[in-house]
Amino acid sequence: MSNPTTTTAPPPVQMLNVQVDGVWHQFPKGTRVIEACSQAGAYVPRYCYHPKLSSPGNCRMCLIEMGMPKMGADRKPEMGPDGKPVINWIPRPQISCAQDVAEGMGLRTDSPMVQECRKGVMEFLLINHPLDCTICDQAGECRLQEFSVEYGQDSSRFLEEKVHKPKHVDLGPRITLDDERCILCSRCIRFTKEIAHDDALGFVDRGSYSTLTAHKGVPFDNNYSLNTVDICPVGALTSNDFRFKMRVWFLKETKSICTSCGTGCNTVVGSRQDVMYRQTPRENNEVNSVWMCDYGRLNFHFLHDEKRLTNPQVRLADHTMSEVDWKDALSRAVGQLRSFKGEEIAIIASARMTNEELYLTRRLADALKCTLMDVVPRQGEGDDILLSADRNPNTAGARLLGVAAATPGAKLREIIEGVNAKRIHALVCLGEDAAEQGATAEALHDLPCLVTTSILPNGTTAASTVVLPGSGFAEKRGSMINVKGRLQRLNRAINAPGNARDDWEILRDLILGLTGSNGLYMVEDLFRAMANDVKEFAGLSLSKIGDLGVQIIQEEEKKAVPTDVEETRTGTLPTPP
């Protein structure tokens, strides 16, 4: 007998011959009819069907004509003059979302009967639907609007009074429901039951009075609730955070990744004129399927905090902070750092920095001959859906590039104690708050050299000798490695406010001041330099990473992060569960 653990090649997938709109195609066994039609170039409109959810087949929008081969008396398909099976068409339309393709199947997606079906379904769906597209947030990305234009009719024949249902329903802390707009597709119900494992939603009442509602007294507040807003084909479920903020057709869409935990869900950032309005998940079946958690999704408002640092600052002799230009601030930082020996210097970096920034941090440490360097670990409670216990997006990168200790955070205690005991005289604090990690305000204030980069003021920037304003996650380009070792790309959606700069440029200029050369002008140059030095990145470039990322570390990431450090994050956000 063969060993059951030996890996064998998967059995070849059986290919089935299917006729779509008169043309014979081949599809692997198990393909949904609706997907087969899409693959053959005949898109079938749908509301309730979602590729990641079960198919209840209740919207009836995907009705098409189907047929099976005509069987002869010998139970073999009868062949036509073209050598292909003759198809016996089923006289009534069938839904295409709940059936797999079969050998010899015939599909008609654009026959007069199908067109008539779609028109009829659209008319029924619009009978009780309010005509409030002007105020509806879904307008512009609304399936009902789109299919009404494509398959519906130009006016309504309905003269009676519409059924009225609840409006402005607080479905949960982050979602407002308008039941009149709901077309009862049940995607949200299936999502929350099947994916979020929180069976909180359901329909009550019957017929045209069917109403979507949450369980009485049970708030719909799971950490994945906002995905229901994404999959809602109409404007019934709206996000309180995005509601009435901006029409979707104004939003510039930038593919990026979420930086709120180690999972690195793929996202689309929606922004307009340097203001980020929302981020929505983007399909990547290797990382996040098509979902993301509410905690990560809403964790971006700190980018538009009115306290954002917009100009470099230096501390004057009378201990007040003064805004200076970049040249002054950088030369002062370099001058201060240069006067210390390597063992007097420590660097606190951040596992929220990109690989490019971490690589430059490493080079900065080499230029300073500094060996005391670590990142701040962040642990929270993870779940088995998407949220990772590691709330740093790039711990793997920090470890790979030698900035984090083998156990990230292991050297942090030593650095903080060194600062408090005044053994360390120069501290470089990159995007982190040493004060929050236990350094006393007095000790930080007494440091003759404290160079910080940050986007928001904190205890450390208040005590710094030089403050260099950096960029937030939506304001820069770069790469990060998620907990599963996948290298993914961040893209710039908006510009940093005021004179704030890309963090890699700040680090580049510091190194330039200390060593006098590096030849890095663009973030692409930087990645190339990094790819030459680090074997995991060999052969890659920022553009080769692509939108879906590249797996560069194969083995499972060990969760070797101490748990005594509290989870911290800037800005206002819902508390993760």
- Cα end-to-end distance, the chain, whole Å: 48
Minimum CB distance to another protein, residue 156 (Å) = 12
Between 169 and 531, CB nearer to another protein: 169
Closest CA to 370 of 290, 318, 424, 315: 424
Minimum CB distance to another protein, residue 158 (Å) = 11
Minimum CB distance to another protein, residue 507 (Å) = 38
Structure tokens at 276: 């980020």
Residues 6 or more apart whose CB falls under 8 angstroms from that of 227 comprise 191, 195, 196, 281, 291, 292
Minimum CB distance to another protein, residue 178 (Å) = 9
Between 112 and 244, CB nearer to another protein: 244
Minimum CB distance to another protein, residue 243 (Å) = 7
Between 133 and 573, CB nearer to another protein: 133
309-312: long-range pairs with CB below 8 Å, 24+: 309/454, 309/455, 309/456, 309/457, 309/461, 309/467, 309/469, 309/500, 310/469, 310/497, 310/498, 310/499, 310/500, 311/469, 311/498, 311/499, 312/466, 312/467, 312/468, 312/469, 312/499
- DSSP code of residue 202: E
Between 245 and 528, CB nearer to another protein: 245
**Interacting residues toward another protein by CB under 8 A:** 130-135, 139, 161-162, 167-168, 243-247, 249-250
Minimum CB distance to another protein, residue 308 (Å) = 20
Between 225 and 238, CB nearer to another protein: 238
Between 132 and 533, CB nearer to another protein: 132
Between 129 and 489, CB nearer to another protein: 129
Between 128 and 479, CB nearer to another protein: 128
What is the per-residue burial (b if ≥16 Cβ within 10 Å, else e) of 106-140? bbbbeeebbeebbeebbeebbebbbeebeebbbbe
- Taking the C-alpha atoms of residue 399 and residue 407, their distance in angstroms, rounded to an integer, is 8
Minimum CB distance to another protein, residue 130 (Å) = 6
Residues 6 or more apart whose CB falls under 8 angstroms from that of 192 comprise 198, 199, 200, 201, 220, 222, 224, 225, 228
Q: With both helix axes pointing from N to C terminus, report the angle between 355-368 and 503-515 in degrees, rounded to the nearest 10.
A: 20
On whether the CB atoms of residues 327 and 338 are closer than 8 A, the answer is no
Minimum CB distance to another protein, residue 303 (Å) = 19
